[in-house]
Structures are given as C-alpha cells and as structure tokens.
Structure 1
Amino acid sequence: MTRFGYGVDATLAKDVRKAGGAAAWFEKQLTRPGAFPDASADSLRRWWPDLDRKPRDLWQRQVTEVRGGYQVMEDYGRWLLVRRIRTRRPVLEKMTEFWEGMLHVPVSGDAHFTWRAAYGETVRAHALGRFDELLTATTTHPAMLIFLSAATSTKRAPNENLGRELLELHTLGAGNYSEDDVKASARILTGWHVDLWESWSRSYVKEDHYTGTVKVRGFTHNNRKADGREVTREYLRYLAHHPDTARHVCERLATKFVRDDPPRGLVERLAKVYLRNDTEIVPVLRALVASKEFRASAGKKLRDPSEDVVATYRALGVGVGRPTRNDSAGNAVLWQASGLGLSPHAWPRPDGTPVTDAVWASPSRALGSMSMHWSMAGGWWPSHGLSYREPKEWVPAKKPVRFKDLVDDVSRDLLHRPASKRLLETACLATGCTAKEKIDREHGLYQWGFPRLLAAVLDSPDHLAC
C-alpha cells in the first residue's frame, strides 16, 4: 500500500479492508482499477482548463502572450499532485508516473508542451497494459517526436536523438547498442512528422521516410516502402521483446519498488516473467510484490519530493479545494514539491526523474521536508483553499489522555500503524512532554504546541520512508 501508493489515508484503509486485505486490494488495483470509483480525482481536470486545449490553440496563446507554455505545464504538475492526493486508484497513478519518468518528456519546453498533457494521458491508458504497446504509443507520440527532434527528421537529414534514446533509455540500455544501430534506428523513425509552424498536427510524410535495408542488433528489414509506419511498429515490437529490454525495464522497476541496488537474481526472474507474458506489465508487478526481496525492503525506500508532499496531505487529511487565487493550496502544492527538489516530470534531461534514494537523501532535502511538515502541521502555509484538522480531533474534551496514548492515536491516524518506541521518544523530545503526562484541552500542548507533535510524526522515518 505504501510502496505502490502515495500514503495511507482513511479512504485507502477502508478500500483495503473492503477488498479483503492488502493482497486482494493490490490484485484488484492491477486488474480492475475501475472497481474503485474515482470521480473526485477525475473531476479535478476542469480546475485547469488549459490542459484540454488543442496544441495549436496553446501555441497561439503563448505567441500572443496570453499564457505561456511554462504556466500550462505548471497546471499539469498541480493537476497530477492533487489527483494523487485524492485518487482511490493509487497503483494506476503510480505506474503512470513510473512510465512517464522512464519514457520521459520533460514538462519544460517551448514546443513539446503543446502535446505534453496528451502524452501523459497516452501513458496512463497503457500503464497497466503491455510494454510493447506502450512503447509504440509513446515513441510515435508528437510530444516525444518534438522533444527528441524526430518531428522534423528526414531521410536527407535524419536526426539521431530519438533513435539513440530509444535504445539507451527506453529499451536495450547503455552499452547494448552500436553507433551503426543508432543510425539505422534514426532512419527507421523518419517520416513521423509534427507541423511546428501552423497546425501543430501530427502526420506521416512518406516522402521523408528513408528506404533501404536497415539493421539494429537482430532486427533486419528491407524497408522498401515509402510508408514506413509498419517497419516502425515491427522495430518497436522487436525492441520491446528483446531480453536486454526485459532486464532494463525490470531493473528500473526493481530499483523503484525494491531498492537502489536490486539483486541480479530478482531482475532476471522478473525479466523471465516479462518475456514469458509477452511484455504484459501486470504479471511482472505480481511477481515483484510476491518476491522475498520486496518483502524484505519494507520501510527502506525514501519518498521523493512529490511523494512526500502528497503523502503529507493525505496523512493530515487535508482537503484541497479549487484554487481561486495565486496562493491557494491547489497552486502552492507545486511550489512545495519544487522546494523539496523537483516538481512532477520537471527533470530536464531525457533520462527522466531518478528512482534511486541517493538522489534525494541529502541534508537540504531533509531540512526542506521538515520545513514543509512544520508549516502544514501548524496550518500556516498554504493557508487558503484547503481545510486542516484541529487538535480537538485527537484530544478529548472531557477526560485527559496520557501523552504516550495520544502519540499512539496520532500515529495510528496519520501513519495507520502503532507508535514505535522510537517515535514516542522523538515526540517527547519535540514537545517536552513525558510519556505519562496527562494531556487535556487546557494543556499547553493543545493550546499552542500541537504542531510540534504532528511535525515529529511527519519527520519520522515512518512517514518519510515507504
């Protein structure tokens, strides 16, 4: 639930119990995500209407300085974060995020921003499907074609950017291809086109497609037809089914969902499942979760900046409303993620947002998280367009409660687990209370010090790790 989600909240806990436990819930999330009604998350799209504008319209609005592409992409990041706060389908969201990170098109960019929201929807549609279909849909998508310079690549001047990154980042992996493979890969992909001047529409221009025999690793094609779309599809199917691709994909999955240095044996087992099931993603995830390595890794992965922000909102039970002014929470949530290191899909390089803990395990990240937890624990910022819970949610009105019991209640509420001895010691240190001290609504902890207790829980490894 924590590894494939964005933090446990009351709704998620209820869904898991209703499904019959974590294993049954996970299986249902994989195969029947529609069984979890998600209208609350789906309705958010209308908060940011620019996300549904046509590419040409978006470009014209940028050129005429109505609204810049970076502003539209900021809305995209906000939509993703608030959607993750609300969703009842966290596995689908998590896998959409994972593939958007691996098959990466940054949200920054003066041209590909026009198609970037649509690209995310394409990834979402295939996130729990087959990798070969996902690879075909993303490689030939206008956002990817524009970002990696294939939208204007021709047989006379083939651009190698997409041909190279397709091999190194999306399929075979570094060191598993030659420069001749890159050249042939680029030639295969010529013909796919996006009009970057007027219509911003996608097309296939047969006159721009290179013809002649092409060879990439074990893939060979006579490539005689001017229409090379079928050659592209055959080529991408070949890459998706290659054993090197199986290992590359499964290594990234294991790095994200198990540990930074996944055991080679686990990667090989997952790769066999991937190939045996015709690149279907769900069987691989089942095998990953069933592995002894996954179970041994519980609580040992660090949440990245976006995950930390979303999990904090979910833990505190903060309700986010439609933004009505600049400093509304629906807008501020993006700045919070940026303040911790990175907003969604803003990584500028083609290799995508890192999935290793080491990137985020820095003193500055720790201090940033503590600052964010503290401001939200006190309800100080963001302060508009959201609803915080108050200390009376935990401190009874009549009968005093021992501090150790209060800490346990807060831990069960925020983290859905009993307070550990370590957490109790931390809470005592943070608040100055003793374990057996009686807390009522006249106590200073209730009157002014409660944010210290909430922040202590949020700063703990029990919240920051998953």
Structure 2
Amino acid sequence: MTTAASTDLSLMAHLLRRAGFGSDRAELERYAARSYEDVVDDLLNPERFSEPEDEILTRFYPHLQANKDNPAVWNGRWFYRMVNTERPLEEKMTLFWHGVFATGWTKSEHTPTMVDHIQMLRTNCMANFRKLLLGISRDPAMIFWLDNNENHGEAINENYGREILELFSMGIGNYTEDDIKSAARAFTGWTYDTPVALYPFGHFDVNYRFRADDHDDGQKTFLGHTGNLDGEDIVNIIAEQEATARFISRHLYNFFVADEAQVPAWSIEPPADPAAIDDMVKTWISSNADIKEVMRTLFNSEWFKAARFKHVKSPTEFVASVLKLSGEYAEPAPDLHKLEGVIVTMGQKLMDPPSVEGWHTGKEWIDGGTLTERVNYAIDTLNDPKKPGVKAIIEHISSQGNLTSPEQLVDSVLELVGPLEVEDATRAALIAHAQTDGALDWSSDAASETSSSRVVQMLTLVVSAREFQFS
C-alpha cells in the first residue's frame, strides 16, 4: 500500500480533479499527506464530513423562501457547494448523473421540481443502482420530462419505457420493442400530484403519486421475466443485466477517466479500454450493482491513475476549477447567480440539458467561440494579485529566494496550478516570454511588486494554454 509520506502530488492532484473540481496547493498538500487509498475511501463515504451550510447561503438569498423560481440562483448555490464542499465526490457524482439522466427545466419551467431532482441525485449518487433508478422513476421532474404522467393503464405512453432502456441503463441493441412496451405498462400510474400554479400563489413542491386505478396490473414479459410486473420489478431486472453494467461503466469511464465517443455511437464503436470496462463490470456483478464499489474499483485502478489530462473539462468543471485556484467564494456572495451565465456562454446550462441524451462531451465542448469564452474567463478571474489563491501562488514563488529565473517561474506556476503537464513546445514558449524581462527580483518592495505582476501575467498565460482545458 502507498504510504502517507510517499503519496505522489501529481497523482493526488489527478484524483482531486476527477473526483472533485481540483484544488489549490494547500488543499492538495493536505490530501497528499495521507495514503491514496485512504483518501479514496473518504471520498466514497461523504457522510463522514459535514455538508456546506445551506443556512448561510439562504441568508444571501432570502427571497428563495418565498420564490423558488430562479434557476440561476440555485445553480450559483451548486457552484458554491462544488468549490467549498468537504464531500467533493458527492457533488461530482451528482453532476455525472445529471448528464446521464438528463432532465431539463425548459419543458416544465418549474424550478422547484428541478431543485428536488438535483437533490435526489445527490442523495442517491453512490447508492445501489436500483435505488438511483427507482428514484429517477419516481421523480416528478423526470415524470413530466418524459411524459410518464400521460402513461395510462388503458393507453400507454412509451416515452419513459424506451428511454429508461436506451439512455438510462442498457443502451441500444440489448432489448426489444416488446420489452419497451412491457416497461411502459409497468410504469403506468406512476405520476405526481398536480402542483398549485407558480403564479401568483407561490412556488410549491411537487410530490410523486402512484395511482393504482391507472396502473396496468396485467401479466407482462420483460427481458425474459414474466409476471404481474410493476416499475420496481423493471428496475430490479434492469440492474441485474450485464448490458446495464457495461453501459453505465462506459458512462463512468467517459466522465471520470478519458473521453469516449458520443453515446449514440456506442452500439457500433467499442470502448477505448475494454479491459477497464471489464474490471468495472466484474465489480458491478459481484457487488450486486453497488455504485460505490464500482467507483472504488475505478479510482484504485492503474488505468485510472495513468489517464491524466485525457478528459476535456466541461464548462462546469472548467469554471469550478478556476474558482478553486482563485480562492473566490470561500464565503457566500450575492453574485453567485452570475456563474450560470458564464457557463451558458461556454455551452452548458445546469438543470437544463439540451435533450434527454444530455450534453455531448469531450472535444465537442470546444469550438472557436467557447474556447475564447473559457480563456477570457480564466484570465479575468485570475488576473488579480489580491485574490486569495493568486496571492498564495505569488507568496509560494517569492519564498524560493530573492531571484527567480524564467525557467523557475514557468515551472513553479505549472506546478502550482496542477501540477499541469504541458507539451515541450508550450513550456518553451512560456519560458521565451518570461526571458524577455529576465529573473524575478524579490529584494525590495518595488521589485517585489513588479515581480508579483509578472507572476500574475504568467499565471494567465498558463491558464490560456491548450493543456489547461484538460483534467
């Protein structure tokens, strides 16, 4: 086992980028003082740590007590959790499942159900897959999103029955049209109580309701199982399938390990690393679909440890990682809601994916416009020596001695924002720029002020590099 004293900083930084949203240097060193396996175990057991204090956030947004219909405020609060939580994997898994069980605000325009939907994902994110899939099936936001409120015992609507198989569990090619019909019949009567209108009376929660009088209780055959099957039976049967284990494992690989092809191609394009998928499938089967144990296998594997900078950050991951570096929002602030607009310009809106398929990932996050938005945001956020994270970087470099060579400046900044691995050409270009003004001088107040400005400039150049787009 890796000893606490020998935990590699680069490896720990990799884990914190994938199992969370990155770290500043002080946080990284605290984690790296422990063994890798112990850190993984803590990440997988978030209940050992306190949650961010929602009460404090509520003081900054008191209007939410009477008016919950503002997605930007709730997404700002989610960013606050991402940046400050002592339970980073919980938030990262919530984001992961939000992309798999893609459910959007645009259709319902009812924010309270979306807030409850995200909380349901957070509560069940590392539970047994059955519990998570059952939670989704009883989730009012999902029920409305995929029309299961229109799925009646005498007139079935196949929308949810199809998507629970195609996109939420097994993938195309592992079921028949008859299986879809049987699943739809099993979920008849799974609906919700119609809420009071949002306006002008207030913003009321929506509750799941099972209507026995609207449920088809006839005999059904689903994936070889015959009987008076209901939705819970469907969920249990799905979780037992190897096809489900493979499909969800590929989702996990794509999100936590390395970018894969887009989901619609999976039925014809094999995984990039079939052995990695096999490892997770074995754990799925032996643990009876325990997501926590599948994640343990993932994080402790050699293929995960080797997959550094193989994943393009989503807009949410990118913004959160920049905020971790800047040290902003360690305390709540009234402008958290503006972060929604930031990620929208980069191609993502939390609580409102573009379709039931979710967001296309990997290199599809990047085009000329979105890359410009990313670079500009990183520069604007980190171009301030007074911000806590930037100040800490300056102090770390100045503590190395009175003179800092151009090479030391570049390597120190790369180390402190990652450690970030860059191509030789990128490092050479950064050094060439640093050499134009020679070594940094920390011998006097005036010289230190100039050197601090140069550190900030180098920091903005590093986060503008192509390699910073990867985690």
Q: What TM-score do you get using the length of structure 2 for normalisation?
A: 0.82
CA RMSD of aligned residues (A): 3.1
Per the alignment, do residues 462 and 265 of structure 1 end up closer, same or farther by CA in structure 2, a change over 3 Å counting? Answer: same
Match of 1:267 in 2: 277
Give the fraction of aligned pairs with identical amino acids, expressed as a percent.
Answer: 22
Per the alignment, do residues 5 and 202 of structure 1 end up closer, same or farther by CA in structure 2, a change over 3 Å counting? Answer: closer
Moved more, 402-411 or 423-432: 423-432
| 1:178 Cα deviation after fit | 2.3
| 1:314 Cα deviation after fit | 0.6
Per the alignment, do residues 319 and 111 of structure 1 end up closer, same or farther by CA in structure 2, a change over 3 Å counting? Answer: closer
Match of 2:199 in 1: none
Match of 2:166 in 1: 168
Match of 1:292 in 2: 302
| 1:408 Cα deviation after fit | 3.5
Q: Distance in 2 between matches of 1:290 and 1:118?
A: 32
Match of 1:44 in 2: 57
Match of 2:71 in 1: 73
| 1:145 Cα deviation after fit | 0.9
Per the alignment, do residues 283 and 216 of structure 1 end up closer, same or farther by CA in structure 2, a change over 3 Å counting? Answer: same
Q: Which amino acid aligns with 2:233?
A: E
Q: Which amino acid aligns with 1:34?
A: E
Q: Distance in 1 between matches of 2:308 and 2:355?
A: 30
Q: Distance in 2 between matches of 1:137 and 1:395?
A: 49
1:309 to 295, 298, 319: 319
Q: Distance in 2 between matches of 1:42 and 1:274?
A: 37
Q: Is the Cα contact below 8 Å between 1:41 and 1:86 reproduced in 2?
A: no
Match of 1:227 in 2: none
| 1:36 Cα deviation after fit | 3.5
User: How does 1:351-390 map onto structure 2 within 5 Å?
Assistant: 351-354=357-360, 356-379=361-384, 389-390=390-391
Q: Is the Cα contact below 8 Å between 2:422 and 2:467 reproduced in 1?
A: no
| 1:394 Cα deviation after fit | 5.5
Q: Is the Cα contact below 8 Å between 1:214 and 1:220 reproduced in 2?
A: yes
Per the alignment, do residues 399 and 248 of structure 1 end up closer, same or farther by CA in structure 2, a change over 3 Å counting? Answer: same
Give a deviation string over 1:169-213, Cα, whole Å, max 9, x none: 111111222222222211111111223353844322111111311
SS at match of 2:226: strand
SS at match of 2:167: helix
SS at match of 1:2: helix
Match of 1:9 in 2: 24
Match of 1:250 in 2: 249
SS at match of 2:19: coil
1:322 to 332, 336, 357: 332
Match of 1:26 in 2: 40
1:207 aligns with 2:213: yes
Per the alignment, do residues 10 and 289 of structure 1 end up closer, same or farther by CA in structure 2, a change over 3 Å counting? Answer: same
| 1:52 Cα deviation after fit | 6.6
Q: Is the Cα contact below 8 Å between 1:102 and 1:352 reproduced in 2?
A: yes
Q: Is the Cα contact below 8 Å between 1:73 and 1:108 reproduced in 2?
A: no
Q: Distance in 2 between matches of 1:149 and 1:314?
A: 39
Match of 1:64 in 2: none
Match of 2:223 in 1: 217
Match of 1:138 in 2: 136
Q: Distance in 2 between matches of 1:94 and 1:433?
A: 41
Q: Is the Cα contact below 8 Å between 1:149 and 1:161 reproduced in 2?
A: yes
Give a deviation string over 1:258-283, Cα, whole Å, max 9, x none: 22343223212311210111100122
Structure 2 unmatched runs, 5+:
1-15, 197-203, 261-271
Match of 1:154 in 2: 152
Q: Distance in 1 between matches of 2:134 and 2:111?
A: 20
* Alignment: residue pair count: 433
Match of 1:113 in 2: 111
Moved more, 310-319 or 198-207: 198-207
Q: Distance in 1 between matches of 2:466 and 2:258?
A: 16
SS at match of 1:3: helix
Match of 1:334 in 2: 340
Q: Distance in 2 between matches of 1:173 and 1:180?
A: 15
Q: Is the Cα contact below 8 Å between 1:129 and 1:281 reproduced in 2?
A: yes
| 1:143 Cα deviation after fit | 1.5
Structure 1 unmatched runs, 5+:
59-68, 224-230
Q: Is the Cα contact below 8 Å between 1:394 and 1:406 reproduced in 2?
A: no
1:127 to 104, 107, 125: 125
Q: What TM-score do you get using the length of structure 1 for normalisation?
A: 0.83
Match of 2:264 in 1: none
More RCO (CA 8 Å, sep 6+): 2
Q: Distance in 2 between matches of 1:167 and 1:313?
A: 37
Match of 1:403 in 2: 406
| 1:395 Cα deviation after fit | 6.5
Q: Distance in 1 between matches of 2:221 and 2:280?
A: 28
Per the alignment, do residues 44 and 220 of structure 1 end up closer, same or farther by CA in structure 2, a change over 3 Å counting? Answer: farther
1:35 aligns with 2:34: no
Per the alignment, do residues 460 and 41 of structure 1 end up closer, same or farther by CA in structure 2, a change over 3 Å counting? Answer: farther
